[in-house]
Chain A
Amino acid sequence: MRRLAALGSLLLALGLLASLPAWIGNSYYVNIASQVLLYAVFALGLNVIVGYAGLVSLGHAGLFGIAAYSGAILITAGYGHFVAIAGALVVTLGVAALFAVLALRGTGLGFVMITVALGQIVWGVAYRWISLTNGDNGVSITSRPAPFGLSLVDANPFYWATLVVFLVAVAAIAIFVASPFGASLRGTRDQPRRMNALGYNVWLIRFLAFLFSGLWSGVAGLLFLYYNQFVSPQTVALTASAEVLLMVISGGTATLLGPIAGALLVVIMKNVASGYIERWNFVLGAIFVAIVIFMPEGLVPGSLRLWRWATRRRRQHPAGPAAMAPVPHGSINGGAQ
């Protein structure tokens, strides 16, 4: 019965997403939806390393930007979209491997600082290597790809293409997390020494997870490139890395829906709410503070906790003891030591 309900709500969500251009009313909102989906792919990719591996990266905009820049440069050089996409993903994976080798020398704060430095190097290259990247004037591309002869120039086809990529990303990451490899990755997060003693190669597991995370960041970077048809150093700046990390943390790390909710929150606040509230930065900050205070584990797990608490209390009323009050669970460093 519960499985049926879950299947039903999944189908309903899919139907709503697929028919979005029909009910949302205006191509502007369709474009916003495309942005939510592409940032959701980025946040889902980052969540692999932040949520499931417990390694906080502040350099993922570098990988996102490498993919966008590689794609843009290949297209400008006259290559087709297929070559550009494949080339960009190969370059991104290569750079991700390099990042991982350097950054995985540390964990915790050390890992954060190395990823910051690596991200800044990418930014420096984008900004300074003017003959390659055109400096802060950026690279623009004039066309979007047309897979199977379907043009993606208009808002609706582009949205559907982004939706397909998004669904593939969600499915791939869900399978990845549920797999034995995903379990061992969570093991390296919670008990790295015990995992090591059990014979797991902790470094290799983290390395592969970083590559997987980098791959989806790269895919999101390509979606960004095709969406904006423009890429400039701001795309790879530290603030961009921080923004996507905020999406993951505010939505809920180590959950599948959390990064999606975080992307939805940030994109809507930045683009839609900013049209109505002049101090939208302040409102976004206030929302983050509220999340930290009331749902430190993130929007999705936090809402679930409150929901469970509310329904259980209703069922047990009036005997509901104080012990039923919501207690946040740590997520990144969860598990007894």
Chain B
Amino acid sequence: MAPRVGRRTFAKRVGAAALAAALPMPAIAEDKPIKIGLLTVKTGPLAQGGIQMEQGTNLFLKHRGHKLAGRKAELVVGDTGGNPAGTKTKAQELIERDHVDFIVGPLAAFELLAISDYVAQHKCPILSLAAAEDMTQRKPNPYFVRASGTSAQAMHPLADYAAKELKYKSVITVTEDFAFGYEQMGGFQRVFEDAGGKLAKKLWPPIVTPDYTPYLAQLSGVDAVVSGFAGSNPLKFMKQYKDQGLTLPIIAGSVAMDDALLKSFGDEAVGTISCSGYTADLDTPSNKKFVEGMVADYGNIPGIYAAGLYMSGMVAEAALEKTGGKTDDKEAFIAAMRGVSLTDTPRGPFHFDHLGNVIGNAFIRRCERKDGKLVNTTIKTYKDVGQFWTFDEKWFLAQPVYSRDYPPLKG
């Protein structure tokens, strides 16, 4: 309650000063800080990514001197605990109690899906990196903006690269048994098969698996293995892969070779090809500043979790500059966000499609050891990749969402 009283007395004082100086009244409104709500996971198994999200947000605000479009910016953080009911309660806290102007986060698809209708009812703009395809496809939310990409957005170009440049003919996919995994591999499969490739098997180990041996035993007779693991599972999987003496090349999705994981990998990661919408080695001024800031403040090169939130902040800032710092007209605010087109960001230039999903570059990287440290070196850039890849949007949306059984395996 204390800040509210403080703000009111402050407003009164400013008001009195304004009257005395006969200044125009709207000056008062701009002194109210912009409130940003961050939904993230700080406890439980998803906390690693969640904490990086908070770091990315904090660094962005620090770089901007805690001011956006001339208004002071305040951050309110809610720990969802990584479950849908907790996310709903925290979203209520941010919207109904703290009256935030917009929300960044949450992390996981099921968290976002749990609050999608609720934030739309309250017309609260939400910028998340949760990758659930249907949030910008078959069940779009008009208040949603995603600067990172859908689950399959980086898998489409990866499949294209695997078939056309690496000349792989057949692969086995392996990733966790949940929606993010299905959507990643569905996207890979569609593009890979269109290019003449074949999926021999799709393997789905449970999210929490101490031992990948039963799955590793099935990895043979193909040109390569496609890994789509998330969180800290890529570390476990790659280590056991090497320990079992497997030598098939691995190609990986965005979070399976996330730059933030590199310091924890060993030699087993060298040579892995991956595709991501963000890469730490991108040479743009804002990415340099971002990476340096992350290394200085948190001691690690950032991956897509921190970058996604940093870029969400940039999108909100650009929108606020367009609306003159005003957030009262939610429709205008969200329209401004979706109309944002940035040229210098940590992932290079990007803009949004009419469903609020990002159109930006996708980077094919190879993991290498340089000066004793692992780095992902960009070897090819696919320009302006959208969520529909090269497919026709109408045709794409008429198909079911990628799932465990769709597209089905061919004979």
Which A residues form the contact surface with B (CB < 8 A)?
Answer: 26-29, 31-32, 35, 130, 135-138, 140, 142, 155, 224, 228-230, 232, 234-235, 270-271, 274-275, 278-281
Given contacts A135-B404, A228-B88, contact A27 B96 (CB under 8 A): yes
Q: Are B110 and A228 in contact (CB under 8 A)?
A: no
Q: Which residues of A sit under 8 angstroms from B81, Cβ to Cβ?
A: 270, 274
| Residue total for B at the interface (Cβ-Cβ under 8 A) | 32
Contacting residue for A140 out of B85, B114, B403, B405, CB 8 A:
B114
CA distance A234 to B111 in the complex (A): 10
Q: Are B113 and A140 in contact (CB under 8 A)?
A: yes
Q: Which residues of B sit under 8 angstroms from A28, Cβ to Cβ?
A: 92-93, 96-97
Q: Which residues of A sit under 8 angstroms from B88, Cβ to Cβ?
A: 228, 230
CA distance A27 to B91 in the complex (A): 13
Q: Are B118 and A136 in contact (CB under 8 A)?
A: no
Q: Are A271 and B89 in contact (CB under 8 A)?
A: yes
Which B residue sits closest to A140, measured CB to CB? B117
Q: Are B84 and A26 in contact (CB under 8 A)?
A: no
Given contacts A137-B113, A140-B113, A229-B117, contact A278 B84 (CB under 8 A): no
Q: Are B110 and A142 in contact (CB under 8 A)?
A: no
Interface residues of B in 282-319 (CB under 8 A from A): none
Interface residues of B in 1-48 (CB under 8 A from A): 42-43
Known: A31-B96, A140-B113, A275-B79. 10 other contacts (CB 8 A): A29-B97, A31-B89, A135-B178, A137-B134, A230-B113, A230-B115, A232-B110, A270-B86, A271-B93, A280-B79
Q: Are B93 and A275 in contact (CB under 8 A)?
A: yes
CA distance A155 to B121 in the complex (A): 13
Q: Are A35 and B89 in contact (CB under 8 A)?
A: yes
Q: Are A135 and B84 in contact (CB under 8 A)?
A: no
Q: Are B116 and A135 in contact (CB under 8 A)?
A: no
Q: Are A234 and B109 in contact (CB under 8 A)?
A: no
Q: Which residues of A sit under 8 angstroms from B116, Cβ to Cβ?
A: 140
Which B residues form the contact surface with A (CB < 8 A)?
Answer: 42-43, 78-79, 81, 83-86, 88-90, 92-93, 96-97, 109-110, 113-118, 132, 134, 178-179, 182, 403-405
Q: Are B110 and A26 in contact (CB under 8 A)?
A: no
CA distance A228 to B403 in the complex (A): 25
Q: Are A32 and B42 in contact (CB under 8 A)?
A: no
Q: Which residues of A sit under 8 angstroms from B89, Cβ to Cβ?
A: 31-32, 35, 271
Which B residue sits closest to A27, measured CB to CB? B96
Q: Which residues of B sit under 8 angstroms from A31, Cβ to Cβ?
A: 89, 92, 96
Q: Are B93 and A235 in contact (CB under 8 A)?
A: no
Identify 10 residue pairs between A and B in the complex whose beta-carbon atoms are under 8 Å apart, listed by A's number. A28-B97, A29-B97, A130-B404, A136-B109, A140-B117, A155-B96, A230-B88, A232-B113, A271-B93, A274-B79
Cβ of B407 to closest chain A Cβ, rounded Å:
14
CA distance A235 to B110 in the complex (A): 12
Which A residue sits closest to B401, measured CB to CB? A137
Q: Which residues of A sit under 8 angstroms from B97, Cβ to Cβ?
A: 26, 28-29
CA distance A219 to B126 in the complex (A): 33
Q: Are A234 and B83 in contact (CB under 8 A)?
A: yes
Most interface-central of B78, B109, B113, B403 (chain A CB within 10 A) = B113
Contacting residue for B78 out of A135, A270, A275, CB 8 A:
A275
Which A residue sits closest to B109, measured CB to CB? A137
Q: Which 8 A-B pairs have the closest CB atoms?
A: A28-B97, A28-B96, A230-B114, A234-B83, A271-B89, A27-B96, A136-B178, A232-B84
Q: Are B84 and A234 in contact (CB under 8 A)?
A: yes
Q: Which residues of A sit under 8 angstroms from B86, Cβ to Cβ?
A: 270-271
Cβ of A336 to closest chain B Cβ, rounded Å:
43
